[in-house]
């Protein structure tokens, strides 16, 4: 399956926010990745790394004013970035759908759940009336919402956060899209609910054969879910690898830092946490060097001379001049 | 803070906490608000008087039961027979004030509804399309708002000729920009919200997004504004009639017109100014009190 043609092929995607009288901000800078049918791809990075903007750009959901999007997003041979608006609207929800971070605000507060779920069915599958309603009830029960016929008549505030996210997932998967983009779908939820939602996503993706792009800052989610992982920092991909390789042997110091900063239950008591020093605002412009250099423990002189290239080393892509040694991280554990 | 106040606040917090639904919560808050209740009571009183005017008023509005009692120098004031006294033509002032409620209510409601409808149309256009449509619509609105409302209403009503309809149309027109601007602002704010993005992300078309998602979330302040506009519409209607732009038929009792007719007798018969004046105040006050409190209940920004 992994060897099949990519379903979604993002090439050199860049997003620049321009403001009148203000500096332009390049939020996404030459990001390329592919998603194959049925594959689960993780986009990992901390706040401001450009992962959400990447997903919005792929969906064509960025505002048109003040935003410049470059590169290509190939889906089924079409470049989604240049597709006419009408055709893009047909694709959204039917072929590519998205689940957002905050289920509290992603449902319309004054419209019953049922109307919102049937809306997507009416839009893409020509269902209406009772047929749409029973299909919606079916969907809700598939995402694990009990008593779906009653729930359809209720308003979002009558549902818990987890239930709302389930309803949003139901809406996103209603038309069996081939790609589902989940942008931090569990960040706004309780920890206990998080695991349930991830399980649900995993299950549904397997059932429907959809590819999943999981955008998260949570390495735990990546470890349990993704086939391929792309680590983003300051708008660029700094390391891409299969899940196993990445977790066994992170090569980019940032990836290493992320992994080391995850608190471990099996660590001896009293052992301090390992944060990455500095903050994501301490960045260098990529044009001047590696953006991570100011925080990097492995920094060497050439890091700040110019942008490090993305190189393929042993089945992974790496953007680093002085990567972690093959065994260093394993030994540190 | 006294003990009872402490209890009162904790109690109100307890009541408010579980309510997730903003509208339900607003309604709950409104029902416990004495000012809103008084306002509602005044409105109810005013509406009931208008509806049941024939049952309440002892005389027809154009009957002249006191024709013989009127002299140019003396107009009888309130008495047991005529509670609000007689007017210059010997008509029962109480009956006329009671019947006058009908005119005021009619003008207020019709003018507000028309004004709101026009405002909604322009507001939805501007708020939904943005860009050039928005710019054009909003410049028209700005021009309209730059002219003092009453002045424009006078001009429009004068242009249309003195009648009840021209008063209604004039007041409706001057309220269109108010509603348009309000709704546009609300819709622009809602346009960037997560649920709109979510709806777009599943391919929902523009029209259902505007009419089915954005509009229902933008309408609350418009309803508040409508309540407040009813109050000003009643005052403006009285003002236009006072200036002689209302109904041409002198037999139709209208508070503003009654005030105008009184001017010559103000020294000898001040009651003729007092009662219609109080009626206008009560009707307008009711809508204002309810409207203000409705605004505070719906929008926490205005809460004190």
Q: How far is CA B186 from the centre of its chain?
A: 21
Provide the 3-class DSSP secondary structure of residue A230.
Answer: strand
Residues A315, A321, A326: CA angle, nearest 5 degrees: 50
**B140 in any annotated domain:** yes
Q: Are B192 and A83 in contact (CB under 8 A)?
A: no
ipTM: 0.85
Question: CA–CA separation, B199 vs B194, rounded Å?
Answer: 9
**Model pLDDT, residue A3:** 56
Helices (H), A175-252: 191-208, 219-225, 243-248
Q: Residue B304's pLDDT band (boundaries 50, 70, 90)?
A: low
CATH code of B253's domain: 1.10.3720.10
CATH 3.40.50.300 in chain A: give the residue spans. 8-232
pLDDT computed for residue B9 by the predictor? 39
CA distance B196 to chain A (A): 8
- Tell me the pLDDT tens digit for each residue of B32-59: 889 999 999 999 999 999 999 999 989 8
What Rg value do the Cα atoms of chain A yield, rounded?
Answer: 21
Spatial separation of the C-alpha atoms in residues A100 and A109, rounded to whole Å:
16
pLDDT score for B267: 82
Q: What is the pLDDT of residue A333?
A: 42
Question: What percentage of chain A carries pLDDT values higher than 90?
Answer: 57
- Give the model confidence (pLDDT) of B273-286 as tens digits: 899 999 999 999 99
Higher model confidence: residue B169 or residue A330? Answer: B169
DSSP chain B: --HHHHHHHHHHHHHHTT---HHHHHHHHHHT-HHHHHHHHHHHHHHHHHHTHHHH-SS-TT--TTGGG--SS------SSSTT-B-TTS-BHHHHHHHHHHHHHHHHHHHHHHHHHHHHHHHHHHHHH-HHHHHHHHHHHHHHHHS-HHHHHHHHHHHH-SSHHHHHHHHHHHHHHHHHHHHHHHHHHHHTSHHHHHHHHTT--HHHIIIIIIHHHH-HHHHHHHHHHHHHHHHHHHHHHHTT-S-S-TTS--HHHHHHHHGGGTTT-THHHHHHHHHHHHHHHHHHHHHHHHHHHH-GGG--
8 Å CB contact of B202 and A97: yes
Q: What is the pLDDT of residue B3?
A: 45
The whole-number pLDDT of residue A75 equals: 94
- Structure confidence at residue B196 (pLDDT): 94
The answer to whether B209 contacts chain A (CB < 8 Å) is no
- pLDDT, tens digit, 9 for 90 and up, residues B170-180: 999 999 999 99
Residues of B in contact with A111 (CB under 8 A): 212-213, 216
Query: Structural domain of residue B276, as residue ranges?
Result: 50-57+85-302
Burial of B235 (0-12, 13-18, 19+ CB in 10 A): buried
Contact indicator for A132, A79 with CB cutoff of 8 Å: no
Chain A positions in Cβ-Cβ contact with residue B198 (cut-off 8 Å): 98, 100, 106-107, 168, 171
Residue-wise pLDDT for A322-331, tens only, equals 998 875 444 4
Query: Which of B298, B242, B266, B297 lies closest to B33, judged by CA?
Result: B297
Residue numbers in A near B204 (CB within 8 A): 93, 119-120, 123
Are B153 and B170 spatial neighbours (Cβ–Cβ below 8 Å)? yes
Q: Which residues of B touch A92 (CB under 8 A)?
A: 200-203
Minimal C-alpha gap between B139 and chain A (Å): 21
What is the separation of C-alpha B50 from the centre of its chain, rounded to a whole number of angstroms? Answer: 15
Report how many Cβ contacts below 8 Å link chain A to chain B: 76
In a domain, B246, yes or no: yes
Evaluate whether residue B10 is within a structural domain: no
pTM equals 0.80
Condensed to tens digits (0 to 9), the pLDDT of residues B249-296 reads: 878 888 988 888 888 888 888 888 899 999 999 999 999 999 999 888
For residue A287, give the 3-state DSSP assignment. Answer: helix
Cβ-nearest to B201 among A97, A115, A174: A97
* pLDDT value for A113: 92
Mean pLDDT in residue range A248-255? 92
- Is B8 within a domain? no
pLDDT in tens, A7-48: 999 999 999 998 888 888 899 999 999 999 999 999 998 888
Query: What pLDDT score does A279 carry?
Result: 81
Residue B90 reports pLDDT greater than 50: yes
Domain contains B14: no
Q: What is the pLDDT of residue B22?
A: 65
Nearest beta carbon to residue B208 from set A107, A119, A124:
A119
Residue B127 has pLDDT above 90, yes or no: no
* Collapsed DSSP state (helix, strand, coil) of residue A155: coil
Identity of the residue in B199, B201, B204 whose CB atom sits nearest the CB atom of A59: B201
- Whether B41 contacts chain A with CB within 8 A: no
For residue B17, name the pLDDT band (cuts at 50, 70, 90). Answer: very low
How far is A179 from chain B, CA to nearest CA, in Å? 12
Q: Name which residue leads in pLDDT, A285 or B1.
A: A285
Is the minimum CB–CB distance between B23 and chain A shorter than 8 Å?
A: yes
Other residues' Cβ atoms within 10 Å of the Cβ of residue B68:
8
Q: What is the pLDDT of residue B21?
A: 61
Average pLDDT over residues A253-266: 85
User: What is the pLDDT averaged over residues A50-65?
Assistant: 91
% of residues, chain A, pLDDT over 70: 97
Q: Is residue B89 a part of any domain in this protein?
A: yes
B38 interface with A at CB cutoff 8 Å: no
Work out the mean pLDDT of chain A and round it to a whole number: 89
CATH code for the part of the protein at A8-232: 3.40.50.300
- The torsion angles phi and psi of A242, rounded to 5 degrees, stand at -65, 155
Cβ–Cβ under 8 Å, residues B269 and B282: no
Measure the CA–CA gap between B11 and A330, rounded to whole angstroms.
58
In the predicted structure, residue A65 carries a pLDDT above the cut 90: no
Token readout for B162 is 């003195």
- Flag if B205 and A168 touch (Cβ within 8 Å): no
Residue A131, SS3 per DSSP? helix
Lookup: tokens for A249: 């042997």
Cβ–Cβ gap A123/B217 under 8 Å: no
pLDDT at B302: 64
Number of structural domains in chain B: 1
CA distances from B68 to B86, B89, B251 (A): 11, 9, 19
Taking the CA atoms of residue A89, residue A94, residue A95 and residue A98 in that order, the dihedral angle to the nearest 10 degrees is: 80
Average pLDDT over residues B92-112: 92
Express each pLDDT in B187-220 by its tens digit. 998 988 999 999 999 999 989 999 999 998 898 8
Q: Is residue B159 part of a domain?
A: yes
- pLDDT at residue number B19: 34
Residues of chain B with Cβ-Cβ distance to A84 below 8 Å are: none
Q: Is residue B11 part of a domain?
A: no
- Predicted confidence at residue B117, as pLDDT, reads 96
- Set of chain B residues whose Cβ sits within 8 Å of the Cβ of A103: none
Beta bridge partners of A33: A10
Q: Which member of A89, A115, A171 has the closest CB to residue B205?
A: A89
């Amino acid at each position: 399956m992994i060897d099949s043609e990519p379903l979604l092929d993002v090439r050199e995607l860049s997003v620049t926010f321009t403001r009148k009288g203000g500096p332009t901000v390049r939020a996404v800078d030459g990001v390329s990745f592919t998603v194959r049918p049925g594959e689960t791809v993780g986009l990992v990075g901390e706040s401001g790394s450009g992962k959400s903007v990447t997903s919005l750009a792929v969906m064509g959901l960025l505002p048109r004013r003040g935003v410049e999007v470059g590169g290509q997003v190939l889906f089924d041979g079409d470049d989604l970035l240049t597709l006419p608006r009408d055709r893009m609207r047909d694709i959204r929800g039917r072929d590519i759908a998205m689940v957002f971070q905050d289920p509290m605000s992603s449902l319309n507060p004054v419209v019953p759940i049922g109307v919102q779920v049937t809306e997507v069915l009416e839009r893409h599958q020509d269902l209406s009336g009772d047929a749409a309603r029973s299909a919606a009830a079916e969907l809700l029960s598939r995402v694990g919402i009990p008593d779906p016929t009653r729930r359809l008549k209720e308003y979002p505030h009558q549902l818990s956060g987890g239930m709302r996210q389930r309803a949003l997932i139901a809406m996103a998967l209603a038309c069996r899209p081939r790609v589902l983009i989940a942008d931090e779908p569990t960040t706004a939820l309780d920890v206990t609910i998080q695991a349930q939602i991830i399980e649900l996503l995993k299950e549904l993706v397997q059932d429907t054969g959809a590819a999943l792009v999981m955008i998260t800052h949570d390495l735990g989610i990546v470890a349990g879910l993704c086939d391929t992982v792309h680590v983003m920092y300051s708008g660029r991909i700094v390391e891409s690898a299969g899940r196993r390789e990445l977790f066994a042997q992170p090569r980019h110091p940032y990836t290493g830092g992320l992994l080391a900063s995850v608190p471990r239950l099996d660590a001896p008591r009293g052992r301090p946490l390992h944060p990455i020093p500095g903050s994501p605002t301490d960045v260098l412009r990529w044009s001047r060097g590696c953006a991570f250099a100011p925080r990097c423990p492995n920094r060497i002189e050439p890091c700040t001379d110019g942008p490090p290239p993305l190189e393929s080393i042993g089945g992974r892509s790496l953007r680093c001049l002085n990567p972690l040694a093959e065994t260093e991280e394993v030994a540190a554990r | 803070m006294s003990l009872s106040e402490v209890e009162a606040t904790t109690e109100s917090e307890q009541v408010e906490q579980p309510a997730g639904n903003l509208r339900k919560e607003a309604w709950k808050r409104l029902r416990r608000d004495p000012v809103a209740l008084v306002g509602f009571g005044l409105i109810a009183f005013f509406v009931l008087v208008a509806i049941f005017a024939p049952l309440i008023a002892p005389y027809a509005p154009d009957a002249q039961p006191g024709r013989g009692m009127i002299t140019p120098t003396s107009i009888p004031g309130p008495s047991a027979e005529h509670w609000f006294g007689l007017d210059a033509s010997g008509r029962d002032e109480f009956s006329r004030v009671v019947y006058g409620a009908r005119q005021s209510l009619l003008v207020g409601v019709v003018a507000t509804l028309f004004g709101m409808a026009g405002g909604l149309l322009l507001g939805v256009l501007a708020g939904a399309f943005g860009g050039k449509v928005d710019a054009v619509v909003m410049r028209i609105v700005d021009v309209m708002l730059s002219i003092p409302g009453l002045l424009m209403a006078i001009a429009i009503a004068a242009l249309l000729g003195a009648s009840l309809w021209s008063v209604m149309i004039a007041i409706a027109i001057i309220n269109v920009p108010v509603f348009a601007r309000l709704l546009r602002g609300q819709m622009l704010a809602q346009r960037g919200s997560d649920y709109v993005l979510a709806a777009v992300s599943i391919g929902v078309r523009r029209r259902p997004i505007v009419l089915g998602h954005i509009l229902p979330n933008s309408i609350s302040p418009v309803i508040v504004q409508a309540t407040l506009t009813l109050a000003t519409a009643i005052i403006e209607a009285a003002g236009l009639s006072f200036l002689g732009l209302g109904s041409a038929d002198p037999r139709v009792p209208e508070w503003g017109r009654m005030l105008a007719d009184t001017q010559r007798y103000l020294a000898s018969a001040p009651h003729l100014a007092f009662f219609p004046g109080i009626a206008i105040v009560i009707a307008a006050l009711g809508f204002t009190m309810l409207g203000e409190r409705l605004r505070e209940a719906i929008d926490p920004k205005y809460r004190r």
